[in-house]
Structure 1
Amino acid sequence: MRKKGVIVVIALSIFSVAKAQTKEKVQNADTNHLKYLPDVTVVGRNSKSDYQQMPEIVGTNIYAGKKNALIVLDNVQGNVVTNTMRQVLAKVPGIHIWESDPSGIQIGIAARGLSPNRSWEFNVRQNGYDIAADPFGYPEAYYNPQLQAVQRIEIVRGQGSLQYGPQFGGLINYILRNGNEINKPFEFETQQTVGSNGLFNSYNAIGGKKGKVHYYTFFDHRNGNGWRENSQYYTNAGYGTVTYNFSSKFSLTAEIMRSHIRSQQPGGLTDAQIKQDAQQSFRSRNWFDITWTTPALIANYQINEKTRWNTKLFGTVGDRNSVGFLQSITTRDSINATTLNYNNRVVNLDQYRNYGLESRIITDYAIGKMKNTFSGGIRLYTGTTTRQADGKGTTGTGYDVTVSGNYPRDIEFNSKNAAAFAENIFRVTDKLLIIPGIRYEWLEGSSSGRNGYTSGGAEIILQNITRSRSFVLAGVGAEFHVTKATEVYANISQAYRPIQFANLQAPPTTDVVDPDLKDAKGYNIDLGYRGKLKSFIQFDVSGFYLQYNNRVGTITPTGATYRLITNVGASTSKGFEGYVEFNPIRAFTKSKHTDVIIFGSYGYTDAKYSGDHKDANTKGKKVENAPAHIFRGGITGGYKGFLLTAQISSVGETFSDANNTVAASANGNTGLIPSYTVTDLTATYKFSKGLNLKAGINNLFDERYFTRRAGGYPGPGALPADGRTFFISVGAKL
């Protein structure tokens, strides 16, 4: 109760600071400050570029001093229909992408030597609130919004941990289309797409504004057969949002997204099988089914011209079901000669029921002649995950999660969180900004239930484990405006990754959880220079350092007969992230109808294990899934309404395990992941503001490659990426 009382006091203090602000009109502030204030939606709407820097302040959030990027989806020259992230995030340097899901359903991205597994090293949000399975105990993002429905993507590295909590990777926030640019009672939008391997996508939306009410709703359907055998899928997503403006200062928004996805999982392959035929599959009975509902209620109040308040009530109601034959790819899934049927499949079911509240306030105040900005907020969260696993499924081939008997594992995980943060922009001079911040976290995670049966049929009851802890994170950032359009930025910020549910799920017959098991903690450092030179060069170059301490792993202590789940060591990632975009037409001519944009982004990462437990042996080895070199570049040429983009994506080799195994294992689970280079072409023609035609070829030269090896689902084995595919799309607004 004492900790919750602290948070209430902090919240009241934040509100008191805001209320104490006088109602004086904003005095003439320096032009540098005003330059960064426009709302980000305006930035995205008026620019032809798909890449922008975030303003200093957006809503109640501070982005000054932080490494960040804004991707405007309307301007992306790429295949957003199948969520092709190497094209969407091409201008964000250093982003490592797993391309193991040909349907684009599962997005896996990371940076700075972290794992891309369902983006779980990022704090993944939609419209500013959580959408992962459980941000604290199980942060995998099984659901990601269809990118045709996304207006923009906000990415914040490093210091984002102070405003949003975990993880080390920072924040990725998908802002959905809400039709806020519509100023008439009714508008209809549609985008219809067909492509290779039976691809069909239909996006349809209506929206409007009348009086004090604004609304927007869409339905998106996609289906296809996939590039590989046994890869059919479909997705259905519906979204609705209604905003009521009680006054010019106060509005209330209610929104809900519901997504249902079902996909066939073709399984992994060995390296030899990929060389023979990367499209082949030896698993025809594996299925994945996800239903995700994310309701939210959002209040915005402009208290006065200096102070804004935002509160979100949100929930995640998710179901993740899988059924399949999950043994090594070297074991055939064939008809049993005795029963004349297939062997029984394994069924796993997860349910996620999460609810939260976040309330934030931001206000301007003066110290002398300089206007400063304070932002603070609180967070309350509770989540319950119910896991039923290893059920004896049917011998059938279609999607069927019927089981015979009990689930051997029947576990409930619970997580609770209360947090408060505060950040402040101190404008020391017209050019220099200092941005310190602090975050208080209280966390609790627990697990209970059955973890299986003994050979004699007795229940194995899960160890009764509860972890409750609290701590403070701190950081500081800075900006120095070298010119009106360029700035040096720097920050150092602590971060953490909570103990995962999997670390509390120790089979008591074989594993022991270290009673001193701690959350992974560390810090990010950024130092960079970014901005624009006149109207034809945009750039952001920086160095980074990421220290990741208390990594959790499993070891066998010397002389012991059990495995210990404990903190096994640390890793250090350091490197360079650079992006530059050049427009020679603007530089050398005055043409208003022709455009040429040349861009390149490059990330260098040196990620190594820097320390270990006395019974671990990773010290000095490279971190797995951390390619040293990632380059993406391209050129866009346009005349009037026509744009053509050629893009190249080149990713260096990486290890798939912490032991740095080079030779591929017989089952494809471990071994080096080779480097690869992929080329894409995309063209767009806008007949008018309301009518467009898009087409593209992904993997133009039909490169054979893979980005991931899986030891379990959805493998096991190496998971090939798609070969050459195409799409064509037509859209209209009425």
Structure 2
Amino acid sequence: MPASSFLLAFLLTAAAPALSAPTAIDAPVLPSSDGPERSASLTGTVLDRSGQPVEGVLVTAGPRATVTDSRGAFRLYGLPAGEIGVTVTGLSIKPVTQTLTLENGKAHTLQLTIEESVRELAGVTVAAKAATFAPEVDGTTLTAGKKNEIIQLDKLNANLVMNSSRQVFAKVPGVTVWESDGSGQQINVATRGLSPNRSWEFNTRQNGMDISSDPFGYPEAYYNPPLEAVERIQIIRGGGSLQYGPQFGGLLNYEIKRGPRDKKLEFETSNTVGNNGLVSSFNSLGGTTGKVNYYGYFQQRLGGAWRDNSEFNVRNAHANATFQATEKLRIGAEISHMSYVIQQPGGLTDEQFHRGELRSSARGRNWFSTPWTIPAFTADYQFSERTRLSLKTFGLLGERNSIGFTGAVNVPDAVNPATGLQANRQIDRDRYRNLGSELRLLTDYGLLGQQHTLAAGVRVAGAHLRRQQQGRGDTGSGFNLDLQAPRFGRELHFSTRNYAAFAENIFRLGSRLTVTPGLRLEVIDNEGRGYLSLNADGSENRIEQNSRRQVLLYGAGTEYRVTEQTSLYANYSRAFRPVTYADLTPPATTDVIDPNLRDSNGFNAEVGYRGTWGNVLSFDVDAFWLNYNDRIGTLRQPVPGGTAGQTQQLRTNIGTSVHKGVEAYVELDLIHAFTGDFSLPHFDVYASTALVDARYTELRTATLAGSNIQEGDLKNNRVEYAPKYTHRFGGTFAHRGFSATAQLTRVAGVFADANNTLAPNAAATTGRVPGYSVTDISATYRFAKRFTLRGGINNVFDKNYFTRRAGGYPGPGLLPADGRTWFATVGVKL
């Protein structure tokens, strides 16, 4: 394949000088033939007096500044040669300054130590904010010129036990949330008017590795780590497509905690109770012994949820360990496992909702389970301070299992008239077996008088799905996947093979301006085979579908540092959403899949201004434009060569949507802004808002009217589940070990279908979803360095609202959000 060969050749050519670079610290960069180097770079770490990394403090060197990451690390580029002072500042710490001399063309390293201990700071107001922006190089990821956010989970006052998405993502402007899972197990989020369904418009990862069923065939994220175990969440909007591939939403990456570096053994337990029988226990062990760092946790959460018929029992376990084999080589292994059984209460009709019967349920026999296991192996090799190679190999053994009555909400659970017993339930089962590997290179190099950064990599992955549906289950009411018939009514096998290569480069043009172009080539092979249904004589209605293609993505970002702590940024990146397994599966044997079916494609574009001011103000304001072309849907068409009036459904590309709007986040530390006295308590107020206009510019329709096919176009209709506005306002009071947060969320009404239907149908699957407002409060108190008390009330004013209508599981019907709930947690760290 010529395009693939070209990109691989480019990658190897770019990597070659990096792999042969000198390994000594402060090794000089060879001058280019165009003239001498005119800048230097500085990398380093900030530690406390016990050697523990310090996160979230500001490091300033001349005209450049950045914030340390979770490992205490920082990188600064484009620094002028000569003597320069490097200063570490942050709330609740004493400033530290060290002077060093920078030489042209050299990559310098520095270790800075603050006087305070991280553990001592646990009892005072911490310096780092809950939401920050990533530095231009974050691990092996380039974020310069991209819209991005970092959420620090331990800085939040939020209901992490129940994975409260509207609290966790509060300071990420424009995040829409589906609140339809009372167990808190599923996280359904999206931005910019995209669908929140199981976060499938995000490329969802854990520690940089795939966790969804299959990003290229079935991108639904059935698994999410418990947020009590997450150190930070990394979000990169559409520009993330160049380094991570699909989807239009960009990257959503959960980073799991690691063991402390200054203790051989640390034990933490966090135990929670709440209403509706909620009981949760989270327990972890971690530490560092010699060259081995390790961490593991076990969480169990069970209860009855807010609605009737909503039992859940969730178990999560994880273990990771890294071994510093040599000064340059670090290897690691990790495994995550989740198992749960959730009772699903089904949907409601609009009449039930308006009568206030939100806690009622017409389904007492519906259950859902997705056991999930993710093993992984990693290796990092540090060729020099400027060059790093990272290898991640990961797998997935998972299932999606459901049993229940799948009829419309306005149809009672079926009863067998011959026996008077409830009829057999339907069993649907998916089994996932995936394996993949990604190799990434990050290197700094000198060119034309400046230092630049290259990130490049390759990926190989394969996935297999065995889908069995329409199985005959038992007539009982418990969770039971035993088949009561010899065969499933449908059985399909899908496989995906994916090969990819990418390269992205930060070019530094002076000390303030960066330009970051990049490209990515995806080679995708989807195959499907099996039988769609069984005939009365037992014969199979078989299908076989194949889809092979190449996708080339490209884009560029730029960032201009206006001041030491603020910058203008802009980005344009191509994006795509692959043809999924559902697109390759005809709903009926008479339906047809277009042999020329194409991946949805388009682009994200954004321009914004972000930064901080005086340690009291943080902000990020941007405008965006998202084009989503070749959206896939179904059209009615005449059967070629058939009789008059004979029609069939065709699955094909039917239209385009355009999403445009403004996103804004601002947070102000009021007391310190007016007094300048940082010994006083904090009172941070924030606003996170998005205005979105998402409409179809073309959406072809073809329906049957009598014996004729009537064609239409839903042009100018609003995209379903794309609110005109999403506002979140809040404030946090913090002093020493105590902090409390109050938050108001306001979301506009949306349409549940592309026809923009206003009046609900009898099954409650179409119709407008009204806007809503909801208030949450939560608080944390840390004392005696080891103890933590947390608590909160979600939906304080017990508002009645819903965020989605479902055509199938976990409905069908209208799915109400939870009313008022509370939780209380006691934590101990030893």
Please indicate the TM-score interval, normalised by the length of the shorter structure: over 0.9
| In structure 2, distance between residues paired with 1:592 and 1:100 | 43
Residue 327 of structure 2 corresponds to residue 297 of structure 1: no
The alpha carbon displacement at 1:508 in A equals 6.3
| In structure 1, distance between residues paired with 2:157 and 2:592 | 51
Q: Secondary structure at the match of 2:608?
A: strand
| In structure 2, distance between residues paired with 1:653 and 1:471 | 36
Q: In the alignment, what sits opposite 2:706?
A: none
| In structure 1, distance between residues paired with 2:424 and 2:477 | 10
Q: In the alignment, what sits opposite 1:329?
A: 409
Tell whether the 8 Å contact from 2:698 to 2:713 is kept in structure 1 after alignment: no
The alpha carbon displacement at 1:246 in A equals 1.0
The alpha carbon displacement at 1:33 in A equals 8.3
The alpha carbon displacement at 1:453 in A equals 1.5
The one of 168, 171, 186 equivalent to 2:265 is: 186
| In structure 1, distance between residues paired with 2:780 and 2:139 | 32
| In structure 2, distance between residues paired with 1:612 and 1:624 | 13
| In structure 2, distance between residues paired with 1:699 and 1:489 | 37
Q: Secondary structure at the match of 1:718?
A: strand
| In structure 2, distance between residues paired with 1:33 and 1:550 | 46
Q: In the alignment, what sits opposite 2:342?
A: 263
CA 1:689–1:56 in structure 2 vs 1: closer, same or farther (change >3 Å)? farther
Q: In the alignment, what sits opposite 2:570?
A: 490
Higher alpha-carbon Rg: 2
| In structure 2, distance between residues paired with 1:426 and 1:61 | 15
The one of 331, 334, 343 equivalent to 2:423 is: 343
Q: In the alignment, what sits opposite 1:428?
A: 509
- 1:121 maps to a residue whose letter is E
The one of 524, 530, 538 equivalent to 2:618 is: 538
CA 1:33–1:452 in structure 2 vs 1: closer, same or farther (change >3 Å)? farther
| In structure 1, distance between residues paired with 2:327 and 2:219 | 38
Name the TM-score, length of structure 1 as normaliser: 0.97
| In structure 2, distance between residues paired with 1:36 and 1:369 | 22
Tell whether the 8 Å contact from 1:40 to 1:58 is kept in structure 2 after alignment: no
CA 1:365–1:265 in structure 2 vs 1: closer, same or farther (change >3 Å)? same
- 2:535 maps to a residue whose letter is T
The one of 569, 577, 580 equivalent to 2:655 is: 569
Counterpart mapping for 1:288-687 below 5 A:
288-333=368-413, 335-403=415-483, 404-462=485-543, 464-506=544-586, 509-557=589-637, 561-589=647-675, 590-613=677-700, 615=702, 616-687=712-783
CA 1:351–1:623 in structure 2 vs 1: closer, same or farther (change >3 Å)? same
Counterpart mapping for 1:67-86 below 5 A:
67-86=147-166
Q: Secondary structure at the match of 1:586?
A: helix
The one of 29, 51, 66 equivalent to 2:41 is: 29
Q: In the alignment, what sits opposite 1:139?
A: 219
| In structure 2, distance between residues paired with 1:419 and 1:676 | 42
1:253-290 Cα offsets, whole Å, 9 max, x none, are 10000110110000000011112210000100000011
Tell whether the 8 Å contact from 2:7 to 2:502 is kept in structure 1 after alignment: no
Q: In the alignment, what sits opposite 1:209?
A: 288
Residue 277 of structure 2 corresponds to residue 198 of structure 1: yes
- 1:568 maps to a residue whose letter is I
Residue 131 of structure 2 corresponds to residue 119 of structure 1: no
Q: In the alignment, what sits opposite 2:256?
A: 176
| In structure 2, distance between residues paired with 1:613 and 1:271 | 29
The one of 223, 228, 233 equivalent to 2:312 is: 233
| In structure 2, distance between residues paired with 1:548 and 1:560 | 33
Unaligned runs of 5+ in 1: none
Residue 259 of structure 2 corresponds to residue 247 of structure 1: no
| In structure 2, distance between residues paired with 1:225 and 1:631 | 31
1:409-430 Cα offsets, whole Å, 9 max, x none, are 1100001100000000011121
The alpha carbon displacement at 1:471 in A equals 2.5
The alpha carbon displacement at 1:60 in A equals 1.3
CA 1:166–1:327 in structure 2 vs 1: closer, same or farther (change >3 Å)? same
Report the more deviating stretch, 713-722 or 19-28. Answer: 19-28
CA 1:388–1:6 in structure 2 vs 1: closer, same or farther (change >3 Å)? farther
**Residues paired across the two proteins, number:** 732
- 2:684 maps to a residue whose letter is I
1:646-692 Cα offsets, whole Å, 9 max, x none, are 10111100000000000011111110000000001101111133211
1:546-585 Cα offsets, whole Å, 9 max, x none, are 0000000011026661000000010000000000000011
CA 1:614–1:508 in structure 2 vs 1: closer, same or farther (change >3 Å)? closer
- 1:586 maps to a residue whose letter is H
The alpha carbon displacement at 1:334 in A equals 5.2
The alpha carbon displacement at 1:456 in A equals 4.6
Tell whether the 8 Å contact from 2:635 to 2:701 is kept in structure 1 after alignment: no
| In structure 2, distance between residues paired with 1:488 and 1:4 | 34
Q: In the alignment, what sits opposite 2:138?
A: 58
Tell whether the 8 Å contact from 1:375 to 1:423 is kept in structure 2 after alignment: yes
Tell whether the 8 Å contact from 1:593 to 1:640 is kept in structure 2 after alignment: no
Report the more deviating stretch, 45-54 or 229-238. Answer: 45-54
1:282-323 Cα offsets, whole Å, 9 max, x none, are 100000011100001011111111101111000111011000
1:230-266 Cα offsets, whole Å, 9 max, x none, are 0010111111111110122210010000110110000
Q: In the alignment, what sits opposite 1:714?
A: 810
The one of 774, 787, 795 equivalent to 1:691 is: 787
| In structure 1, distance between residues paired with 2:206 and 2:464 | 20
- 1:202 maps to a residue whose letter is S
Q: Secondary structure at the match of 1:74?
A: helix
| In structure 2, distance between residues paired with 1:539 and 1:101 | 32
CA 1:606–1:4 in structure 2 vs 1: closer, same or farther (change >3 Å)? closer
| In structure 2, distance between residues paired with 1:203 and 1:40 | 22
Tell whether the 8 Å contact from 2:63 to 2:564 is kept in structure 1 after alignment: no
Tell whether the 8 Å contact from 1:40 to 1:54 is kept in structure 2 after alignment: no
The alpha carbon displacement at 1:375 in A equals 0.7
| In structure 2, distance between residues paired with 1:39 and 1:350 | 39
The alpha carbon displacement at 1:614 in A equals 6.7
Tell whether the 8 Å contact from 2:533 to 2:589 is kept in structure 1 after alignment: no
The alpha carbon displacement at 1:158 in A equals 1.2
Tell whether the 8 Å contact from 1:551 to 1:568 is kept in structure 2 after alignment: yes
| In structure 1, distance between residues paired with 2:410 and 2:793 | 34
Tell whether the 8 Å contact from 2:671 to 2:680 is kept in structure 1 after alignment: no
CA 1:716–1:209 in structure 2 vs 1: closer, same or farther (change >3 Å)? same
CA 1:508–1:283 in structure 2 vs 1: closer, same or farther (change >3 Å)? closer
| In structure 2, distance between residues paired with 1:672 and 1:363 | 51
| In structure 2, distance between residues paired with 1:518 and 1:17 | 39
Report the more deviating stretch, 448-457 or 354-363. Answer: 448-457
Name the TM-score, length of structure 2 as normaliser: 0.86
CA 1:597–1:422 in structure 2 vs 1: closer, same or farther (change >3 Å)? same
- 1:539 maps to a residue whose letter is F
Tell whether the 8 Å contact from 1:37 to 1:56 is kept in structure 2 after alignment: no
Tell whether the 8 Å contact from 2:392 to 2:438 is kept in structure 1 after alignment: yes
| In structure 1, distance between residues paired with 2:221 and 2:255 | 16
Residue 303 of structure 2 corresponds to residue 273 of structure 1: no
| In structure 2, distance between residues paired with 1:315 and 1:492 | 32
Q: In the alignment, what sits opposite 1:42?
A: 72
| In structure 2, distance between residues paired with 1:203 and 1:37 | 30
Report the more deviating stretch, 582-591 or 606-615. Answer: 606-615
Tell whether the 8 Å contact from 1:382 to 1:416 is kept in structure 2 after alignment: yes
